[in-house]
Structure 1
Amino acid sequence: MRSKFQHFALTTIALAASAAASAQTTAPAAPTSTVTIYGVADSFVQFADGASRLTRLQSGGLAGSRIGFRGNEDLGGGLRALFNIESGINLDDGTNGQGAFWGRQAFVGLSSAGVGQLTLGRQYGSLYALTGDFSEFSNGVYGPSTAVIGGFGGYEPVRGSANSATANGGPARVNNSARLESASFGGVKVGALWGFGEAAGSTTGTRVADAWVRYTGGPLDAMLSFVDDKVNATGFSVRSISGAAAYSFGPARLTGGYVSVDDRSTANADGQGYWIGGDYRVGPHLVKAQFVENKAENVNAGKTQALGAGYQYDLSRRTTLYTSLTHFKNEGTTYANRWASALPAGLTNADERDVTEFALGVRHTF
């Protein structure tokens, strides 16, 4: 016969097994909300030869260094809440990348399956995607990148400008903005962004209006953009009309785009820029090249041309080595000399305007 202890032990085990089975059948479904921590650590050594020589460590070659948090919650019926906050980091000295702690992105919103999403906060305008996704060297701070385009009366459509409505990053990133983008319908997405000006004494001063359409299907990816950036409360604006495309065939891809800036102030500091490039991938190896031209009209007439080639090697899915060689040619007697980032004092002068740049770096994503 079983002892009372054996009987108690068997009864306890049976109850525990029953409870476990009941928990499995009544437990809730997988979590309906998620939060992801992610980031990029990217740094490179930059050698430049112009009127003088420069060697320095820089941050964010292939991609801007950052740490971010994004999440979403399933609200049922295809509706989800979402957020994204992202802080830029300068790996060379540990400072913030955009002059604000959450300067890369900071927004919250709702998305609906098959309809689209609405977000509110500091977020990307159309020019960020257009000059980044369709450029072999993105819109970063090295190589023949689209960051060369701009400087028209001080206005920077790609880098961001103190003359922009947002001052800190716009119109590529827009503060105080509401952004609406549709779901994909036959490969087509349309979107619009409104940056509330919030200038003192004017509810519409320094506002940004932005609209775009993008088609992605098969080998073709193409985008058109219109931005009206009301630079200050006095009323004038700067308008940008831009387009870009990429076409893939096998391991190769061709890319190119055009940005036209119409300065509607009395200074009439118009300008435009374009780029064309291509890349070819074989396993972990990627070879790429690009040509960029930036031309100012009417005020400080002149142009900058940049031609460069790069090579990337993927050590793993997360870690990439990269290098590039670029020549920047600056023309025009009164035109401000340019390259992909702000020019250090003395790197160019009236007699030597051109710059040759070599970069060698590493990027890790997590």
Structure 2
Amino acid sequence: MKRTFLALAALTVSAGAMAQSSVTVFGVADVSVAHISTSTKSVSGLANGGNSSSRLGFRGVEDLGGGLKAGFWLEGSLSVDDGTASGFKFDRRSTVSLTGNFGEVRLGRDKTPAYQNLETFHAFGDTGMGAISGHNLITSAGGTAEGSNPKRVSNGISYLLPKLGGVYGQVTHSFGEQSGNNSLASNTGLRLGYANGPVNVAAAYEISRGGTAAAGVDYKTFNIGASYDFGVLTPMLLLASERGNDKRVDLYSVGVKMPLGAGELRAAYTWYKDKKQSDADSQRLALGYGYKLSKRTEIYAAVARMSNDDKASRKLGSSLSPTPVVGKSMTGYEIGLRHNF
């Protein structure tokens, strides 16, 4: 009888633990048929992530009681077009967190606060032909961990505000972990926003430390974005600027999303303005449509053109896109399929 009681108690405790914990496998499989042409050459083939970046991830949460929860998130990139899997790593996100009434403390590799505005307030986000391509506007940012305004940072600690009406925010610091100089290759960012009903607006500021231990260089990023859902359409506006090492590049973007049939029409215009060099600007116009076959599956199409000034060579956001010859423009289109699981 005693053994039976102990066995039942063990099963009860185990069932209770399972009820308070959860682990989810998730991901995105996205691939498109794409074509890109310039005045000198053209490229055709399959492109990875034309609508959303392909990925595979695992996330989980455990209820610790008293409103406290522990969680983890491991997410890595996939290449659906060629099935690349060797050397798979959790390069998109690898975090462990503690959440409560105070908000959330998150440790590990994650998106930077400033990059999240680029994704949020652009009709195409940062994937495919129409991608905003708004990070690391200053090229050759030597000494930084991943550029003048990276998408993600490693060795980071973040604090996220709890729910405060419509107010949301995040502050992140990543340690450079350089021998003898912990500030080198470090990154500090702040984002504060307000989302309530149809309105969403947010601003972000970030500093990436580059250069050398003897002569450091700060690359500073600022952006502000806004959108308003009128129901029949959602206009979006984004302004961004990067400065450092006697360089400055500004970005101006306007876009719109509009429900159409069983899908969504997307359009965006983006202007990249080099403030330190003449004839080095670029302009991109993109138009696309996504048709929902179900809640998890979408077929989409997009066309975009990047017009470069005489000293510019910016490319389109597609994974298939080559870097054009300086001063040459390019046009691309794609038709693809995205499935979430």
What's the TM-score once normalised by structure 1's chain length? Answer: 0.83
Alignment map for 1:92-111 (pairs within 5 Å) = 92-95=81-84, 101-111=89-99
Aligned to 1:37: 25
Q: Per-residue deviation at 1:151?
A: 3.9
Q: 1:149 to 1:229 in 2, by over 3 A?
A: closer
Q: 1:259 to 1:96 in 2, by over 3 A?
A: farther
8 Å CA contact 1:164, 1:171 repeated in 2:
no
8 Å CA contact 1:147, 1:341 repeated in 2:
no
Q: Per-residue deviation at 1:96?
A: 6.0
Q: Per-residue deviation at 1:109?
A: 1.2
CA distance in 2, matches of 1:285, 1:209: 38
Aligned to 2:336: 361
CA RMSD of aligned residues (A): 2.7
CA distance in 2, matches of 1:341, 1:285: 21
CA distance in 2, matches of 1:116, 1:213: 14
The CA deviation string for residues 42-80 of structure 1, in whole angstroms up to 9 with x for no partner, is 001111121211112111111110000000101111000
Q: Per-residue deviation at 1:193?
A: 0.2
Aligned to 1:286: 264
Q: Determine whether 1:195 maps to 2:205.
A: no
8 Å CA contact 1:148, 1:340 repeated in 2:
no
Q: Determine whether 1:295 maps to 2:273.
A: yes
Of 46, 49, 56, the match for 2:34: 46
Of 247, 252, 257, the match for 1:269: 247
Of 108, 118, 132, the match for 1:146: 132
CA distance in 2, matches of 1:274, 1:149: 13
Aligned to 1:12: none
**Paired residue type of 1:198:** E
Alignment map for 1:164-313 (pairs within 5 Å) = 165-167=144-146, 171-232=150-211, 233=213, 234-263=215-244, 265=245, 268-299=246-277, 301-313=279-291
Q: Determine whether 1:76 maps to 2:76.
A: no
Q: Per-residue deviation at 1:226?
A: 0.3
**Paired residue type of 1:152:** I
**Paired residue type of 1:58:** A
Q: 1:257 to 1:124 in 2, by over 3 A?
A: same
Aligned to 1:160: none
8 Å CA contact 2:315, 2:324 repeated in 1:
no
Secondary structure of the residue aligned to 1:130 is: helix
8 Å CA contact 2:249, 2:273 repeated in 1:
yes
8 Å CA contact 1:87, 1:96 repeated in 2:
no
Q: Per-residue deviation at 1:173?
A: 0.4
8 Å CA contact 1:309, 1:324 repeated in 2:
yes
Aligned to 1:337: 314
What's the TM-score once normalised by structure 2's chain length? Answer: 0.89
Q: 1:89 to 1:30 in 2, by over 3 A?
A: closer
Aligned to 1:117: 104
Q: Per-residue deviation at 1:270?
A: 0.7
8 Å CA contact 2:114, 2:189 repeated in 1:
no
8 Å CA contact 2:306, 2:331 repeated in 1:
yes
**Identity, % of aligned pairs?**
27
- Tell me which structure has the larger Cα radius of gyration: 1
Aligned to 1:67: 56
Aligned to 1:127: 114
Secondary structure of the residue aligned to 2:133 is: helix
Report how many aligned residue pairs link the two structures.
Answer: 330
Secondary structure of the residue aligned to 1:64 is: coil
CA distance in 2, matches of 1:294, 1:175: 28
Q: 1:272 to 1:169 in 2, by over 3 A?
A: closer
CA distance in 2, matches of 1:250, 1:188: 22
Aligned to 2:5: none
